[in-house]
A and B are shown apart, each in its own frame.
Chain A
Amino acid sequence: MFEAAATERIEAPAAKPPAISVENLSVCFRVPHERYASLKEFAIRWAQGRLTYVDFWALREVDFEVGWGEIFGIVGPNGAGKTTLLKTIAGVLHPMRGRVVVRGERAPLLELGAGFHPELTGRENVYLYGTLLGNTRRELDARFRSIVDFAELWEFIDAPLRTYSTGMGARLAFAVATSRLAPVLLIDEVLAVGDVRFQERCRGRMDEFRRQGACILFVSHDPALVMDLCQRAVWLESGRVRALGPAHEVVEQYVAASG
């Protein structure tokens, strides 16, 4: 099924440093004690010396490494900092303390389809979303066929996106986001979209990325899925690492604790 692609391997020398290093990472959201939505209010408070903040630490001293060819899971309850961690690795959030090093180009699959415009056609949205993800127009020209082939949307590609079903939109977004074989794939709950057949194809594509040496970071609420897909995992709780190790052990601990 993937023979053609298997020849285009990502270069991964044996002694290569880990794909992702997260060192002593802390991320803090500074929340004003009361909300200062308006400049006037802020100025008054500031003049009175009554500006107070609450620091909310979404991640505290998180430390781990992910190797090449590894599928690494992130589990934890809502608000544990899973998405914040993924966003920091994606470069969306700049760390307050500590350091994140990613040794390869990233393909973020966060919130698929964010940036789609409903009035534009599927074709136009491929280019809009594709460039939002950092592709050039030329790259998208070259890959346009394979994107639409994968999404199976040739019939609707020139219809406005507002006429698409949720599943069709998700298919198009996934096809665009994974059209480039990036060495580091960041995935946030996206496999929950689309029908069973499409989910299978998504997993197929993930496997293919991994076989070619890519590193995949995978956030999910579904412990079974993480155990099934990942080799290693981290369990986050209130921004701290509760457990880190082989996926089945970490997930079992997590399930036991929350069960």
Chain B
Amino acid sequence: MALPPPSTTSASVSESGLYDSARRPPPFVEEFLALLRYRDLVAQLILRNVKARYKRSILGVAWTMINPLLTMLVLTLVFSAVFRFPTRQYALYVLSGLLAWNFFAQTTVAAMGDLIWSGGLIGRIYLPKSAFAVSAIGTGLVNLLLALVPFAIIAVAVGGPIRPAFLLLPIPILCLAGFALGIGLALSTAAVYFQDVMPMYEILLTAWLYLTPVIYPIDLVPPAVQAVLRWNPMTYLVGLFRSVVYDGQAPRPDALLAAVGISLVTLLAGWWVFSRRAREFAYHV
């Protein structure tokens, strides 16, 4: 019986194949180069996350779409009854806010969770640790795109016109993704060292949601509270997302600048913190 010969294709761990522990590139750069080499791993992890989620549930993909709709329904009923918000507009307003918020909340929690759950892997084989946070964001993007389908249907159903501004949607989504990745990386760094970061963050998220104009319009709160909300980066990111999908307008330059700035600074800071510590992770998991 002939055994198939192993292939000779190379170039995986390092392009040159040389590993010198004393001459590794700076962590900030090394982690990025490693992630580029392992980009197919990121794709496989996203695929795994999406498939594993849907293989075991009957409704499958539908859950991603139904979940925000149900929340929207409840909130719309409550707010139009209690606060007498105009129902139709409010439904779209809250749904657009929830889509952006859920993306952020789910991906940051997943970035942390995936790194912790894969602890066994990190302690056994070399791979760029940022692959888990990046694939968590990627999975979130897939879910967000799926959830945008029912949003578009409802938008048409309640009589909102489809505007050309929708084509600008990648901009706010990329800003959100960059911000979520930065926060996710910083959080997962902390979570490697301390078990209680995850539950603490989940509590914080609840408070954060109410400090972000997701379910209420910002003009409706007292000026003092508005001043507080201006210190919340998510205010700008949710605002940018909403200006495109809800207002149907191209974002104002100052709003765009603020969102891009917040996103970039957070991403770079998160990457710096994470990559500086990533070499130690294997000692702690």
Residues of A within 8 A of B (CB): 1-2, 4-5, 8, 10, 29-30, 36-40, 42, 87-88, 90-95, 99-106, 108, 110-111, 114-115, 117, 119-120, 124, 127-128, 131-137, 139, 142-143, 145-146, 149-150, 178-183, 201, 204-205, 208-209
Contacts and interface: CB of A to CB of B under 8 A. Distances in A.
B40 A136 contact: yes
B22 A146 contact: no
A39 B193 CA distance: 8
B4 A134 contact: no
Interface residues of B, number: 53
Contacts of B58: none
B51 A5 contact: no
Contact of B22 (A29, A42, A99): A99
Contacts of A8: 5, 8
15 contacts: A4-B5, A10-B8, A91-B13, A92-B124, A94-B21, A101-B18, A102-B18, A102-B19, A105-B13, A114-B121, A120-B48, A128-B44, A132-B121, A134-B127, A179-B7
Contact of B126 (A91, A111, A181): A91
A87 B127 CA distance: 12
Given A38-B194, A94-B21, A117-B52, A5 B125 contact: no
A181 B8 contact: yes
B14 A2 contact: no
Nearest to B15: A105
Contacts, number: 176
B56 to A, nearest CB: 7
Nearest to A88: B21
A134 B22 contact: no
B125 A108 contact: yes
A37 B19 contact: no
B47 to A, nearest CB: 8
Closest 8 CB pairs of A and B: A5-B5, A146-B4, A134-B12, A131-B41, A105-B17, A91-B126, A39-B194, A102-B19
A131 B64 CA distance: 27
A93 B280 CA distance: 7
Interface of B: 2-14, 17-22, 24, 37-38, 40-41, 43-45, 47-48, 51-52, 55-56, 118, 120-127, 190, 193-197, 200, 279-280, 282-283
Contacts of B20: 99-102
B7 to A, nearest CB: 5
A139 B6 CA distance: 12
B7 A205 contact: no
Contact of B121 (A87, A102, A115): A115
A40 B10 CA distance: 47
Given A101-B20, A132-B41, A201-B3, A180 B48 contact: no
B55 A119 contact: yes
A103 B21 contact: no
B121 A146 contact: no
B12 A105 contact: yes
Contact of A120 (B18, B22, B52): B52
B169 to A, nearest CB: 28
A180 B9 contact: yes
A182 to B, nearest CB: 8
Nearest to B118: A115
Among A4, A104, A142: residue with most chain B CB under 10 A: A104
A100 B19 contact: yes
Among A8, A30, A115: residue with most chain B CB under 10 A: A115
A128 B17 CA distance: 22
Given A87-B282, A94-B21, A94-B280, A142 B7 contact: yes
Contact of A139 (B9, B196, B279): B9
A36 B197 CA distance: 13
B247 to A, nearest CB: 40
Contacts of A150: 3-4
A204 B52 CA distance: 36
Given A108-B125, A181-B8, A114 B17 contact: no
A181 B7 contact: yes
A255 B285 CA distance: 33
B127 to A, nearest CB: 6
A92 B123 contact: yes
A92 B194 contact: no
A146 B6 contact: yes
Contacts of B43: 131, 137
A2 B3 contact: yes
Contacts of A179: 6-7
B40 A180 contact: no
A87 B3 CA distance: 29
A208 B3 CA distance: 11
A115 to B, nearest CB: 5
A94 B6 contact: no
A102 B22 CA distance: 11
Contacts of A102: 18-20
Given A105-B10, A115-B125, A146-B5, 13 more contacts: A5-B5, A102-B19, A111-B120, A111-B125, A120-B55, A124-B47, A128-B44, A128-B45, A132-B125, A134-B127, A149-B3, A204-B3, A205-B6
